[in-house]
Amino acid sequence: MHGGLALAAAAVLPSKALIASSGATLSSQTSAKPGAKTMTTITTKDGVEIFYKDWGSKDAQAIVFHHGWPLSADDWDNQMMFFLEKGYRVIAHDRRGHGRSTQTATGNEMDTYAADVAHLVASLELRNAIHVGHSTGGGEVAHYVARAQAGRVAKAVLISAVPPIMVKSDKNPGGLPIEVFDGFRAALVANRAQFYVDVPAGPFYGYNRPGAKVSQGVIDNWWRQGMMGGAKAHYDCIKAFSETDFTEDLKNIDVPVLLMHGDDDQIVPYPDSAPLSAKLLKHGTLQTYDGLPHGMCTTHPEVINPDLLAFIKA
């Protein structure tokens, strides 16, 4: 449904990412005097503060969650609570320009996003972590994992993710026309606040489908997260999630990868995404969900979380 898609941009396209080296200042935590507010961040080489959550035992296996456009680490609250209870260390960051991280005017593309992840991973000294990405975050995971230092990554999960590439071209005839993404940009500039209501109230969660059980709280929370971020960063990110070609990234990933995708995804259409990515991966497993929407981690956590756990434990 290209019309519904045009309403909601939900994935961030990348461009190449460099991860091997970490040019970031080590995780800088604000000094905590009793009663003082604290915020956990790392500072990148270009001076950007990246906010992150880090819950659970430092000795437990880490699961790193990567959110979609234009959201924040808060989009993973359900999954983080679920896996924390299962004994895992759970980590989620706000991508630059999103959430509580710096509202950047530059660096809003996939190479830098993945480099920021590398800085975070190095700062927290993570080894054998599992990286889980939704939508744009799935592109970020693919871009990072393809370049990660040996021993950093054990497995990866791409959920409703943008790879291999979203935009239509001669090489990708099944993609969405560039006009769809131009429409996203125009809507963001014209009235970002209204656009960020229309997306979750419609195609993102499938709330525009007949008989859908609509949650106003979920819509409001999507809006809240989106409006926390910077308009310039979100505008630039549309190009990142729609035009980045992850083909070579997928081919270069050596660890097991689970692809989870609903076949009623109106944001990242199923036929041109997960099935194509599965063919490019060396160790890819495709899991398709009948009738589920783009935001299925939120609408159907009772389905998604156990399947995630089974893959992680396998």
Of the candidates 273, 245, 40, 64, the one whose C-alpha atom is nearest the C-alpha of residue 162 is 273
Decide which of 268 and 2 is more confident. 268
Residue 33 has pLDDT above 70, yes or no: no
Of the candidates 237, 273, 265, the one whose C-alpha atom is nearest the C-alpha of residue 164 is 273
* Set 236, 265, 273, 277: catalytic member: 265
- Residue 13's pLDDT is 32
- Residue 199's pLDDT is 98
28 is an active site residue: no
143 is an active site residue: no
Assigned token pair, 178: 């560039």
pLDDT (average), residues 147-151: 96
| Residue range of the domain that includes 136 | 2-313
> Do you find a cis peptide bond into 293, omega within 30 degrees of 0?
no
Residue 7 has pLDDT above 60, yes or no: no
pLDDT (average), residues 19-34: 42
* Set 15, 72, 123, 135: catalytic member: 135
- Residue 39's pLDDT is 60
The domain spanning residue 240 has which CATH number?
A: 3.40.50.1820
Contact call for residues 131 and 158 (beta carbons, < 8 A): no
Give the C-alpha separation, 245 to 168, whole Å.
11
- Residue 17's pLDDT is 35
Give the C-alpha separation, 272 to 267, whole Å.
11
pLDDT (average), residues 98-112: 98
- Give the amino acid at 267: I
Locate the DSSP E strands across 30-152: 40-43, 49-55, 62-66, 89-93, 129-134
- Residue 126's pLDDT is 98
The number of distinct structural domains making up the chain is: 1
Residue 155 has pLDDT above 90, yes or no: yes
Give the C-alpha separation, 69 to 169, whole Å.
22
Express each pLDDT in 216-275 by its tens digit: 999 999 999 999 999 999 999 999 999 999 999 999 999 999 999 999 999 999 999 999
pTM of the predicted protein model: 0.89
Of the candidates 265, 261, 255, the one whose C-alpha atom is nearest the C-alpha of residue 205 is 265
170 is an active site residue: no
- Residue 8's pLDDT is 43
* Set 131, 143, 261, 294: catalytic member: 294
Locate the DSSP E strands across the chain: 25-29, 40-43, 49-55, 62-66, 89-93, 129-134, 153-159, 257-262, 284-289
Which H/E stretch holds residue 77? helix 77-85
Express each pLDDT in 161-216 by its tens digit: 999 999 999 999 999 999 999 999 999 999 999 999 999 999 999 999 999 999 99
